[in-house]
């Protein structure tokens, strides 16, 4: 009955949310259930495949945070170091610390909600040249402010924090952030053979066609490639579902970090305007007893979580983005609840 229950839940989401394709893998101990529903391309009807590459969007933050925490472990950076010494001119920059950036408590203005950072094209494409996507344009938005709140006053999810951490990472290491993440984090975790901070806009093959839902709520529009400079250290990375399952064990176990920093990574604060059990640590989401991250970005949504007490992991990916917030996160939570109804109260 377990597989039937999980598959029914996934089919319900597929049809109710009008998703073109949906993939999910659930692991509990030595047991594994995997599901691929719908299509990778609505024109050809090619089936959705579990082994395809996906943009993992905001899951990138967990890699960026790990790279920054490694620098703290190595004594090159401190939690208490202030933003002003790395990126001058941000409002409250003298009071915003590296720790504030990591745990979303900086209060810095969110570039992603301002139109000023987008290049001026009549028909916006995310695959245009690097020159269209300078990080400086995002920094200008943050400098213009105003800040959302005083540093440390609360926690609010904000992409700006992780663009700033990418700049901090580059200054501390003297290397491009993508190189640091690929060489110091991805390459250090056995099995992450299909995960990378890409240098080109195109997804590697195989991959599904990605779509957005038009305002009528029904029509799908295929989206093109995305220059990694667009979302950079807050959301540029790619991976497969199986790689996400490997990565989430690293997030929960912390083999790349000292025990002290792993404890700090998992120490979480409630996110403002989110459900009571929705908290944020240092580059990780804490949903009740779950550890992981979700992502919503143009053309896709994914989520990966680990339930350490039950030796359970779940990863979900779709090939569509819409007005529904965090589709994959809700699907992943539904799968966890179906197996462990009491997890959120732990």
Please enumerate in sequence order all residues whose Cβ is within 8 A of that of 240, keeping only pairs 6 or more positions apart, or say none: 50, 51, 52, 53, 54, 194, 195
- What is the pLDDT at residue 1? 63
Write down how long the chain is: 346
- What is the pLDDT at residue 33? 97
- What is the pLDDT at residue 122? 64
- What is the pLDDT at residue 345? 47
Peptide bond preceding 146 in cis form (omega within 30 of 0): yes
Average pLDDT of adjacent 10-residue blocks, the chain of 346 residues: 91 92 97 97 97 96 98 98 97 98 97 84 81 92 94 96 98 98 98 97 95 84 93 97 98 96 96 82 94 91 95 96 75 94 64
Extract the runs of DSSP E, i.e. beta strands, from 12-115. 21-28, 31-38, 54-55
- What is the pLDDT at residue 325? 58
CATH superfamily membership of 2-345: DD-peptidase/beta-lactamase superfamily (3.40.710.10)
- What is the pLDDT at residue 144? 93
Composition of the chain by helix, strand, coil, percent to 5: 35, 20, 45
Residue ranges per structural domain of the chain: 2-345
- What is the pLDDT at residue 346? 46
- CA dist., res. 116 & res. 47, Å (int): 39
Is the whole-model pTM more than 0.85?
A: yes
SS (H, E, C) 216-251: CCCCEEECCCCCCCCCHHHHCCEECHHHHHHHHHHH
């Amino acid at each position: 009955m377990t597989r039937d229950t999980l598959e029914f839940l996934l089919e319900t989401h597929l049809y109710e949310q009008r998703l073109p394709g949906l993939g999910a893998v659930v692991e509990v101990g030595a047991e594994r259930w995997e599901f691929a529903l719908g299509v990778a391309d609505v024109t050809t009807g090619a089936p959705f495949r579990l082994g395809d590459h996906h943009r993992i969007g905001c899951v990138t933050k967990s890699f960026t945070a790990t790279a920054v925490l490694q620098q703290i472990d190595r004594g090159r950076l401190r939690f208490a170091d202030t933003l002003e010494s790395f990126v001058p001119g941000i409002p409250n920059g003298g009071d915003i610390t590296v720790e504030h950036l990591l745990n979303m408590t900086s209060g810095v203005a969110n570039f992603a909600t301002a139109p000023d950072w987008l290049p001026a094209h009549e028909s916006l494409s995310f695959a245009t040249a690097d020159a269209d996507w300078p990080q400086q344009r995002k920094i200008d938005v943050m400098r213009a402010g105003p800040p959302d709140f005083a540093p440390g006053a609360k926690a609010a999810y904000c992409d700006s924090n992780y663009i700033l951490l990418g700049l901090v990472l580059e200054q501390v290491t003297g290397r491009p952030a993508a190189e640091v993440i690929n060489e110091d984090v991805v390459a250090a975790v056995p099995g992450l053979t299909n995960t990378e901070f890409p240098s080109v806009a195109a997804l590697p093959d195989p991959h599904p066609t990605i779509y957005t839902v038009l305002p009528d709520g029904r029509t799908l529009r295929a989206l093109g490639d995305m220059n990694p400079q667009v979302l950079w250290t807050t959301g540029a990375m790619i991976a497969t579902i199986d790689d996400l399952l490997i990565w989430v064990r690293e997030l929960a176990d912390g083999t790349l970090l000292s025990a002290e920093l792993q404890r700090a990574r998992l120490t979480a604060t409630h996110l403002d305007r989110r459900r009571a059990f929705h908290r944020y640590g240092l580059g990780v989401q804490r949903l009740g007893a779950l550890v992981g991250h979700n992502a919503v970005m143009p053309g896709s949504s994914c989520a990966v979580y680990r339930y350490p007490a039950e030796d359970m992991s779940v990863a979900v990916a779709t090939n569509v983005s819409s007005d529904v917030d965090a589709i994959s996160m809700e699907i992943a939570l539904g799968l966890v609840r179906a197996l462990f109804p009491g997890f959120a109260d732990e």
